[in-house]
Amino acid sequence: MKLKRSSRLVDITGFLLQHPHKIVSLSYFSERYESAKSSISEDLAIIKDNFESQGIGRLQTTAGASGGVTYLPYMNRLESEKLLKRLREQLIQADRLLPGGYLYMTDILGQPNYVNAIGRLIASIYANRPPIDVIMTMETKGIPIAYAVASQFNVPFVIVRRSSKVTEGSTVSINYVSGSSKRIQTMVLPRRSLTSGARVLIVDDFMKAGGT
């Protein structure tokens, strides 16, 4: 499809935001918009400057036959501090304190704007680390955060459950001592949800004693 530069910039931006951590070749954009690679390179330079100035993320260029451009979600320090300040103001409210020393966080975890921002913040921390293959979390409240992080990395996320489900096939399970109840509990993971040697980032809503 042949587009004017203004329309092309909008479309490329939307594509990159929907496909983070994916190498996209210049040839792909050149064929998609029926434009010269030199024009696409100029477009990407404009988008790169805009992303970095707005704190949206970075565009990483890879040379070579299999190279291209990759969008890396990123949150700069100023935006990170603003987000953490807003979260702190929410979490220090006295009526959030629950028996056992827990904090009520369900309302925050139910707000997409907060959860997506937290996901981008976590993704920023690991942006320059070795590639991550899978995001993992323990059910249940860690699921929204894990999903948000997985969407920023464009990788699958896996849920470790407290009991096996017949719909998940063969599983592997381990017992552990719960940090809150001090009781023996079980974690169950479907065998086919991970491949051998996968690099896993574990995300949860909080950590009390580290047992999980």
What's the CATH number for 5-73?
A: 1.10.10.10
What's the CATH number for 77-202?
A: 3.40.50.2020
The terminus-to-terminus CA distance of the chain in angstroms comes to 51
The answer for residues whose C-beta is within 8 angstroms of residue 99's C-beta and 6 or more apart is none
Domain ranges (residues) in the chain: 5-73, 77-202
* Residue 34 DSSP symbol: T
| Tens-digit pLDDT string for the chain (212 aa) | 788 889 999 999 999 999 999 999 999 999 999 999 899 999 999 999 999 888 888 998 887 766 789 999 989 888 999 999 999 999 899 899 888 777 888 888 889 999 999 999 999 998 888 889 999 998 877 899 999 999 999 999 999 988 888 888 888 988 888 766 678 888 899 888 888 899 999 998 766 656 66
pTM above 0.85, yes or no: no
The answer for residues whose C-beta is within 8 angstroms of residue 190's C-beta and 6 or more apart is 158, 168, 169, 170, 171
Contact predicate 128/135, CB 8 Å: no
